Chains A and B, each alone.
Chain A
Amino acid sequence: MVSVGNHPNINLMAYSEVTQVSGYVGNFTVTVRQKASYVDKEKCTGCGVCQDKCPKKVIDQAYEAGLGHRKAIYKPFPQAVPKFPVLDRENCTFFQKGTCKACEKFCESNAIDFKQQDEFVTFPVGNIVLATGFDPFDPRRIAQYGYGRLANVFTSMEFERLSSAGGPTGGKIVLRDGVTAPQSVGIIHCVGSRDKHYNNYCSVICCMQSLKLAHLIKEKTGATVYNFYTDMRTAFKDYDEFYQRVLSEGTLFVRGRVAEVTDAARLPGEEGKLIIQAEDTLIGKQRRVPVDMVVLSTALEPRHDAKEVGQRFGISGSAAGWFIERHPKLDPVATMTEGVFIAGCAQGPKDIPASVAQGAAAAARVVGKINQKEIAVEPIRASIDKDRCSACRICNNQCPFKAISYIPEKNGQRAYSEVNPALCQGCGTCVAACPSGAIAGTVFSSQQIMAQLNGLMLLNVNGASVEEKVPA
């Protein structure tokens, strides 16, 4: 990450958002909103004194998954790149009450600037790679698992922070009270995925993630660990070996979906525990497993704004909301829009090795395009017969790639619409939409299709000799 920040050819724009994209491959123009961080990046040295002196403590919902605190002026985590902190306006005492300014007082390089405004920057780019990632599933939607109601139900993200040496407990795995180490832990797989009520797809990473958590719990606390799984999906290199290792460590596996997590004790030994009620499909019986702690291995979901982002960049999403690649097997990082590539979980749930591979592939595709110096486009394109075009502009809005532009009347030249061949992907929407029949798809003009049909029909009449079958 640091080398990205230091690279002379990489312009890192953190805390920014692309608001507008126009143009086509090799010639995009993007407008980026750089949100006001109230820290002057020219002056800031990243010393961190503002963070230390800021009196306002806020629960960190992002990096600490709600388990730890950050200040109102903060860096998300110590190794963050770039090193400049960001001021959280909603929680800043100065912005809310008009007093404080502790950060400004202590900053030696006078980098705090309370008057900073959002800035809009517009610049040309040749290619775009979208790697916008995923949103974790909110398990409060599955009320019967008790997340948010029962204190000792955690999400996998929260648990990651608990077991991290740099986390809020210094790596100690404890219950919500902050002291007690759990004697038994239940890990529930497929929370929000492979479930028709929430998401039909498999979130890919949860099996391995749960195994890792089980291993960590065993190693750090020696607690009894139960895994409630739908199917163990430990494909790929060395993954199944890890599963075997976790099995040999004594982690218990129950195959079946969990019906509910409850604190209503029914049988002796359940008092004060969380009871996981699940069907064990391998023995065909119901199980009630009392545990101290429950970890929900939550699903990956498309970013909440994936649809708008897709529209902004002219690419489409699947029914679930993941961005669609040009070809699922042969072209997994390109999209139907030339010059826009996708990588990582924006395209679908995947683990770190796959995300890295896809990111590298997308970068290589861009480098390839740059080195070619010119763009090779598919021959199948729409073209407008200028003389037949009535300039009605129906096709202008129909085009999913914004490839058709309207040329107004000029110097006695009649107004007409025009297809930009670099943007057109030959989908044929405009061909069907044109009321005057002025648009033709290259290779698929109406005359060509009719001629092909004629050829097909004639073959049996004149060409082939059809032998009459005589019944025996």
Chain B
Amino acid sequence: MRYSVFPGCSLEKGAAGYPYWQSMEAILKPLGVELVEVDDWNCCGATEYIALNRMAAYSLIARTLALAAKTDGLREMVAPCSACYLNLSKADKYLTDDAALADKVNVALGAGGLHYKPGTVKTRHLLDVIVNDVGYKAVEQQATKSLAGLRIAPYYGCLLTRPAVYGQTDSPEYPTALDKLMKVLGAEVVDYPMKAHCCGGHMTQISEASAFDMIRRLVKGAADYHADIIVTVCPMCQLNLDGFQGAMNRYYKGDYHVPVLYFTQMMGLAFGLDAATLGIGAEIVDARPALSRIGVQVPPPEEEAKPAHKPRRPKEALPMPVMPGSEEVEQ
């Protein structure tokens, strides 16, 4: 099986999504899936751009689609990130349905010597590919280590599941594909009631109160079901639930510690790969206590370099000018 792949900005090295990319590459090899990265791809526009400037947003996406169409003659492109997946599928559908829009977009693409015929490239989410193309059976055959003893809350988020027009999951409201995948690997899957609720997306940057409320719902939902781990399919969701869990705890004076890992990392563990290859250890909420239940050893995080001492100002130095607003600090 060969697909072109659109990594998306959040899977780029260094970002919270990089372990996703690492673990995806590690598990797809044994499953016999080959990915060819689309050359010179660009950002999908994330969740906001389509709301701000439709024409520019569609052109931005169509550029990637046009480049994907030229990638080795592959007609199916994998997008591991749910936001990228939705944007690419949505734009492709709108361009297919609206010939006038497609013409305009092609004028914009023409400036860069590109052209895109809508419908040429079908965008697929990684979960969809693994579940429907590779199949549960092939996954089960690769699994050498059972995840038994681990309670998993499968979390799909909202961008992958809705709208359901692309047939990506079995149900827009209560999908079960990831549940089945984790069960196949031996894990105990809880009936996570918040599985298709929103993680808040970029709300953390706009309104902390709203964002923390949404994150708390999800984390509390998993904790109420005594889940050891939340397993996610989207780097945005991972970032929100993992990266902002501490901030949310401070905001609500709560004490939740539910680690959030990617489903590819769980698959990798089941395939017997070691934690470091899968990028485990990069998460912020420590997953080691949970993973030790299935005997997975994660190397301790590297000692963070202590901040160098601020050089003491020489006695004879002249005082710094006081900036407006910083007077209290100076006292």
Contacts and interface: CB of A to CB of B under 8 A. Distances in A.
Bind each other: yes
A265 B173 CA distance: 18
Contacts of A142: 173
B193 A143 contact: no
B191 interface: yes
A144 B191 CA distance: 12
Scoring B171, B174, B193, B217 by chain A CB atoms within 10 A of each residue's CB, the highest score goes to B193
Chain A interface mostly: loop
Interface in B159-218: 171, 173-174, 191, 193-194, 217
B224 A265 contact: yes
A264 B217 contact: yes
Give the bracket for the number of chain B residues in contact with chain A.
10 to 19
Given A143-B174, A144-B174, A262 B193 contact: yes
Contacts of B224: 264-265
B173 A144 contact: yes
B288 interface: no
Nearest to A259: B173
Interface in B202-259: 217, 220-221, 224
A143 B171 contact: yes
A115 interface: no
B173 A260 contact: yes
Interface in A241-269: 260, 262-266
Interface in A141-160: 142-144, 149
B193 A263 contact: yes
A143 B191 CA distance: 12
Nearest to B221: A264
B194 A264 contact: yes
A380 to B, nearest CB: 44
A266 B215 CA distance: 11
Nearest to B191: A149
B174 to A, nearest CB: 3
Give the bracket for the number of chain A residues in contact with chain B.
10 to 19
A262 B224 CA distance: 13
Interface in A93-129: none
B169 to A, nearest CB: 11
A396 B141 CA distance: 56
Contacts of A149: 191
B217 A266 contact: yes
A264 B174 contact: no
Contacts of A265: 224
Contacts of B174: 143-144
A68 to B, nearest CB: 26
Contacts of B173: 142-144, 260
Contacts of B171: 143
A274 to B, nearest CB: 10
Nearest to A262: B193
Contacts of B193: 262-264
Nearest to A144: B173
Scoring A143, A149, A263, A264 by chain B CB atoms within 10 A of each residue's CB, the highest score goes to A264
B213 to A, nearest CB: 8
A420 B220 CA distance: 73
A144 B220 CA distance: 19
A266 B220 contact: yes
Contacts of A143: 171, 173-174
B97 to A, nearest CB: 18
Contacts of B220: 264, 266
Nearest to A142: B173
Nearest to A260: B173
A386 B217 CA distance: 79
Nearest to A275: B193
A323 to B, nearest CB: 31
Interface string A52-72: 000000000000000000000
Contacts of B221: 264
A288 B131 CA distance: 35
A347 B194 CA distance: 41
Nearest to B174: A143
Contacts of A266: 217, 220
Nearest to B176: A143
Nearest to B216: A266
A262 B193 CA distance: 6
Interface of A: 142-144, 149, 260, 262-266
Closest 8 CB pairs between A and B? A143-B174, A144-B173, A264-B193, A264-B221, A262-B193, A143-B171, A143-B173, A264-B194
20 contacts: A142-B173, A143-B171, A143-B173, A143-B174, A144-B173, A144-B174, A149-B191, A260-B173, A262-B193, A262-B194, A263-B193, A264-B193, A264-B194, A264-B217, A264-B220, A264-B221, A264-B224, A265-B224, A266-B217, A266-B220
Given A142-B173, A144-B173, 6 more contacts: A143-B173, A260-B173, A262-B193, A264-B217, A264-B221, A265-B224
